[in-house]
Amino acid sequence: MTGNLFVGGVSFKSTNETLQAAFAKAGTVVSAKIIMDRETGRSRGFAFVEMSTPQEAQAAIDMFNGQEIDGREVSVRVAEPRKQ
pLDDT at 64: 97
Could you count the other beta carbons within 10 Å of the beta carbon of residue 76?
Answer: 24
From its phi and psi, is residue 32 left (phi > 0), alpha (psi between -120 and 50) or beta? beta
CA dist 71 and 61 (Å) reads 18
Which pTM does this prediction carry? 0.92
Give per-10-residue mean pLDDT for the chain (84 aa).
90 96 97 96 96 96 97 96 77
| Residue-wise pLDDT tens digits, 32-51 | 999 999 999 999 999 999 99
CA dist 81 and 39 (Å) reads 25
What the chain holds in terms of domains, given with CATH numbers, is 4-78 (3.30.70.330)
